[in-house]
Structure formats: structure tokens, C-alpha cells
């Protein structure tokens, strides 16, 4: 039987978690309700959880004029899948090497990894490197390569997980049996490291899915617009509307009538969130296990 203090603590904890959950869900709910609110109602009354009039015009607009939207959606999915896969594989292989106690130069490589977490070359040198040396400008690689193909924090969390949860004796036994490092990595590290790898994949996938800065920096002109992700497309819509609403151009109602309205922007944003909303609950058990073991044990 629980004591009185334990019962009170349980009730307070549940109330606190319910409030936190509500605060996390309400923004998504508001975006969805705004996307199905009639445009004039939305403009006159602002955002509301209980709009006076509903409309599906925003989603009809997406379906009727969906070429650019669906192309941006496809590019976002491609970049997220490819970037996340490469990110997790590179990070996990480096983390596995750093987790080995007998790795020659382990302290140097560990310092190098931590140093890159604290310091970087800055925006201008990074931009010049990617555009002048790697020539990623106005290519699909501009959305993949600059976005932390191997994030330092992922490496450190994976290293901690491997060191604390995979016995060194198991790896040594595999070496005695003649297994190479690649075989040990594929047959032992990958299966036992599934929780932390799924967790890192979720972190990386969210970064790629929500990224819009790479498109802003490296995609320009008509050729660049064809490679816009859904976040870049939404950002361009907002920028265009703000420009045409300015005093110099705002008087041209014909141009403004052709632009996506507030409800359409909310619909595009909600559609962009759907895959993440579906994926996260499926990976939640791996996420909780991986982040706790990767951060605590060591």
C-alpha cells in the first residue's frame, strides 16, 4: 500500500504530466483547426480553437495546385531518408571505434570529436568550402551534406551506450574466434545497439525534416527552387506574401489573390508534420531506452 505522501506525489506528478502533454499537443491542434477555418473568419477573428466557420479550401488548394508542394514533399522525404541513414551509419562506426579501450590514439580522437562540438569554422568559411570546393550549390547534396552528416553529440551518446551496455568480453571473444572488426560491428554492435541507433535516427531525421537553412544558403534562382524542401517552400510562401503585402506592391489585388492564404500556409505546415506525428509513437520505446542508457551509463 502506498503511503499518503506517495499518493500525493503520484497525483501531482500525473497532473503535471497531463498539463505538459496538453501544452505540447495544443500547438498541433491549433495549426490543424486553422487550416480548416474559413479564410475570412481566420483573418477577422484570428486563430481560435472554436472557429465560427469551417472550410476545406486549403486542402483543396493543395490538391489542385499540388505540383510544387508534392515535389517539395518528395525531396524532403528523400533528403531525410538518405541523410539520416548516412548520419547514423557514420556516427555509429566512429562511436564503436572510440568505445574500444585498446584503440590506438583513442584519447586524441576523442578530444578531436569533442573539440568539433565546441568550435567550428564559422558560417562564411563553411559556405565557401561547400560552394567553391565541394560545389554543392543548387544540387540535392546541398540539403544533405551540410546538415551534420556525423553529429558530434550523436557520436558521444552512442559511444557511451556501447561502453556501458556491450561487454568488452563479448567483443574479445568474437576476435578470438577470428571475426573481423566489420563482422563484429555488423553481427554484434548493430543488433545490440538498436535502441540508441533508433534514437539517433530520430534526432537526425527531425533535423533533416525541419531544416530550411541549407536551402536558404545553397539553393538560389530557378534551378534552386526546383530542389526546395517542404520547409523551404513554406518559407518562400510566407516571404512572398510579406513582400506583396508591402506598400509598394500591396495595391495589386490580382497578384495577392493568386497567393496561398493563411489557412493554406497552416495546411502545408500540418501536412509537413504528419509523418513525424505518425513515426514518433512507433519509435518511442526505443527512444526512451536509448536516450536513458546512452546518457546515464558510462
3-state secondary structure of 101: coil
pLDDT exceeds 60 at position 222 = yes
List pLDDT tens digits, range 167-221: 888 888 888 888 888 888 888 888 888 888 888 888 888 888 888 888 888 888 8
pLDDT score recorded for residue 155: 84
CA distance 36 to 267: 8
Q: Which of 88, 95, 77 is nearest to 208 (CA)?
A: 77
Q: Which three cell numbers stand for residue 197?
A: 541507433
Q: Which of 101, 98, 109 is nearest to 157 (CA)?
A: 98
Q: Which of 32, 76, 66 is nearest to 232 (CA)?
A: 76
List pLDDT tens digits, range 64-109: 767 888 888 889 999 999 988 888 888 888 888 888 888 888 888 8
Q: Taking a C-beta distance cutoff of 8 angstroms, is the pair 158, 250 a contact?
A: no
Q: Taking a C-beta distance cutoff of 8 angstroms, is the pair 83, 149 a contact?
A: yes
Q: How confident is the model at residue 269 (pLDDT cuts 50, 70, 90)?
A: confident
Q: Taking a C-beta distance cutoff of 8 angstroms, is the pair 84, 204 a contact?
A: yes
Amino acid at each position: 500500500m502506498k503511503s499518503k505522501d506517495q499518493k500525493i506525489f503520484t497525483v501531482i506528478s500525473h497532473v503535471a504530466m497531463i498539463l505538459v502533454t496538453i501544452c505540447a499537443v495544443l500547438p498541433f491542434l491549433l495549426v490543424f483547426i486553422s487550416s480548416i477555418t474559413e479564410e475570412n473568419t481566420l483573418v477577422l477573428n484570428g486563430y481560435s480553437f472554436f472557429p465560427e466557420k469551417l472550410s476545406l479550401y486549403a486542402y483543396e488548394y493543395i490538391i489542385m495546385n499540388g505540383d510544387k508542394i508534392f515535389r517539395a514533399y518528395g525531396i524532403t522525404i528523400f533528403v531525410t531518408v538518405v541523410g539520416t541513414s548516412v548520419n547514423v551509419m557514420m556516427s555509429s562506426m566512429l562511436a564503436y571505434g572510440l568505445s574500444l579501450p585498446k584503440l590506438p590514439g583513442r584519447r586524441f580522437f576523442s578530444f578531436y570529436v569533442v573539440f568539433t562540438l565546441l568550435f567550428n569554422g564559422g558560417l562564411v568559411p563553411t559556405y565557401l568550402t561547400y560552394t567553391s570546393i565541394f560545389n554543392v550549390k543548387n544540387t540535392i547534396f546541398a540539403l544533405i551534406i551540410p546538415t551534420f552528416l556525423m553529429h558530434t553529440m550523436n557520436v558521444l551518446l552512442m559511444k557511451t551506450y556501447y561502453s556501458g551496455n556491450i561487454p568488452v568480453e563479448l567483443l574479445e571473444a568474437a576476435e578470438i574466434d577470428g571475426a573481423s572488426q566489420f563482422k563484429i560491428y555488423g553481427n554484434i554492435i548493430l543488433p545490440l545497439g538498436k535502441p540508441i541507433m533508433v534514437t539517433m535516427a530520430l534526432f537526425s531525421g527531425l533535423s533533416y525534416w525541419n531544416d530550411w537553412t541549407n536551402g536558404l544558403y545553397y539553393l538560389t534562382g530557378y534551378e534552386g527552387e526546383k530542389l526546395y524542401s517542404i520547409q523551404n517552400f513554406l518559407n518562400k510562401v510566407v516571404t512572398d506574401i510579406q513582400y506583396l503585402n508591402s506598400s509598394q506592391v500591396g495595391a495589386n489585388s490580382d497578384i495577392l489573390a493568386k497567393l496561398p492564404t493563411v489557412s493554406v500556409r497552416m495546411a502545408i505546415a500540418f501536412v509537413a508534420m504528419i509523418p513525424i506525428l505518425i513515426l514518433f509513437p512507433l519509435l518511442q520505446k526505443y527512444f526512451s531506452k536509448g536516450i536513458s542508457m546512452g546518457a546515464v551509463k558510462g
